[in-house]
Amino acid sequence: MSRYLRCAALLFIGAAAGCEPVQVPQWSSSKKLESLENAEHRDRIVAGLASAFGTPLLPNRPDADDAEREHLRLGAEVYVKRCAQCHGASGDGAGPAAEFLKPRPRDYRQGTFKFTSTPYGARPRREDLVRTVREGIVGTSMPSFALLPPTELAAVIDYVILLAERGETEILWAAYAEAEEDLEFDDVYQEVLDLWRSGAESVVRPLTVMPAMTPETIELGRQAFLSEGCAKCHGADGRGKTQDNVGTDVWGFPTNAADITAGMLHGGQRPIDIYRRISSGINGTPMPSFRAVFDPAGKDPAAAKNPDTMWHLVHYVLHVANQRRASLPSEPSLSAPRTTEDSPASAASTRSGQASAAPERGG
């Protein structure tokens, strides 16, 4: 391109942008750090984070080599282009578009991710984040990025993990400083890393093999739905129109139990996805874990209920999930997506001859 054309293009871009300079993304401080009264401690934390993690466009990780830094820089480029508008430069869920979205974009800085294959409160596996980015979250503004090249997908996932680790380190370090505990960066960061490593090693697996889906198991699931507390928030009809269906998530925003009859199951449509939502709950929300209710290996084995009941609940949710939207008849449907993850449910689903869904991408 000639110099004249380049200048014309720059003038056009400047006019379209209102002649405002391009804003260089900056990491903002958490409320926890901002509220720290001791300015010396606050400055020390800011300096320590900058030294360890770099800047939004030149990110770093302690002990990273040149190849990893280059990988993170690619992730930063992808993130700024495709993610920051909603999730914010710091991963705080407060990008320019965030105020117009419900549910709000995820704030990564607490290390809390809603839809994971790990127990309640645990950090997600990397595979969980890959799947979310590839597939999006149905019923929300989070789109699928399945067309991202594999190198860009891998890089942006690792950049998101970096944002989470940085945010958790900042919040935890500020909490220690507030309590007058004089910890060094390495001690705090290692505590955060341990949480991520333990999450990667803890996968929620079904207590039993999934039984064949029949009208009887669907009816058993309906009975459990009404008797085990599900209807309190989701409503007896599953539409979520109850007085108890109002809560607040850990990010401080109002949240509601899902209308499961609309088919917008944010955590996934596969049996194993629904099982894990029942078993582990949903991180950061009022949706609790029900695993202790049905696990005979729990704290009170004598009080544990039939562990197959969680599969019955799965069958009932699958049955009603699309009924209202699709105007389906009330007779139970015996088709269910095939479970494709490494759980005993996949074998049961295959043996029962139920319809198969596409295999999981990225899990």
| Closest to 315 (Cα-Cα) out of 228, 226, 214, 227 | 214
Q: How confident is the model at residue 80 (pLDDT cuts 50, 70, 90)?
A: very high
**Do the beta carbons of residue 158 and residue 69 sit within 8 Å?**
no
Does residue 142 belong to any structural domain of this protein? yes
Does residue 136 belong to any structural domain of this protein? yes
Query: 81 phi and psi, to 5 degrees?
Result: -75, -40
Q: Are residues 193 and 221 in the same domain?
A: no
Count CA within 13 A, CB hemisphere, residue 38.
14
The answer for residues whose C-beta is within 8 angstroms of residue 353's C-beta and 6 or more apart is: none
d(CA 85, CA 246): 28
Does residue 9 belong to any structural domain of this protein? no
Q: Are residues 53 and 180 in the same domain?
A: yes
Q: Are residues 226 and 328 in the same domain?
A: yes
Report the pLDDT value the prediction gives residue 151, as an integer from 0 to 100. Answer: 98
Q: What is the mean pLDDT of residues 97-108?
A: 93
Report the pLDDT value the prediction gives residue 106, as an integer from 0 to 100. Answer: 93
| Closest to 29 (Cα-Cα) out of 106, 78, 88 | 88
The pair of three-digit structure tokens given for residue 63, joined into one six-digit string? 């002990």
DSSP assignments along 45-65, one per residue: HHHHHHHHHB-SSSB--TT--
Does residue 18 belong to any structural domain of this protein? no
Q: Are residues 189 and 324 in the same domain?
A: no
The pair of three-digit structure tokens given for residue 51, joined into one six-digit string? 């030294």
Q: Are residues 228 and 169 in the same domain?
A: no
Domain of residue 64, CATH code: 1.10.760
Report the alpha-carbon angle 353-359-363, nearest 5.
Answer: 130
Report the pLDDT value the prediction gives residue 342, as an integer from 0 to 100. Answer: 42
Is residue 302 over pLDDT 60?
Answer: yes
**Do the beta carbons of residue 72 and residue 162 sit within 8 Å?**
yes
* Domain boundary residue, one of 200, 225, 240: 200
255: three-class secondary structure by DSSP = strand
Domain of residue 327, CATH code: 1.10.760.10
Which tens digit of pLDDT belongs to each residue from 112-142?
A: 999 999 999 999 999 999 999 999 999 899 9
245: three-class secondary structure by DSSP = coil
Is residue 363 over pLDDT 50?
Answer: no
Q: Are residues 187 and 248 in the same domain?
A: no
d(CA 126, CA 212): 31
Q: Are residues 176 and 42 in the same domain?
A: yes
Q: Are residues 291 and 235 in the same domain?
A: yes
* Domain boundary residue, one of 200, 231, 261: 200
Residue 88 falls in which region: left (phi positive, over 0), alpha (psi -120 to 50) or beta: left
| Closest to 76 (Cα-Cα) out of 96, 65, 91 | 91
Which tens digit of pLDDT belongs to each residue from 27-41?
A: 999 999 999 999 999
Structural domain total, the chain: 2
Which tens digit of pLDDT belongs to each residue from 303-349?
A: 678 999 999 999 999 999 977 766 655 544 444 444 434 444 443 34
Q: What is the mean pLDDT of residues 170-187?
A: 94
Does residue 188 belong to any structural domain of this protein? yes
Report the pLDDT value the prediction gives residue 329, as an integer from 0 to 100. Answer: 53
Q: Are residues 47 and 116 in the same domain?
A: yes
Report the pLDDT value the prediction gives residue 14, as an integer from 0 to 100. Answer: 42
Which tens digit of pLDDT belongs to each residue from 179-230?
A: 999 899 999 999 999 999 998 889 999 999 999 999 999 999 999 999 999 9
Quote the domain boundaries for residue 346.
215-351
Does residue 14 belong to any structural domain of this protein? no
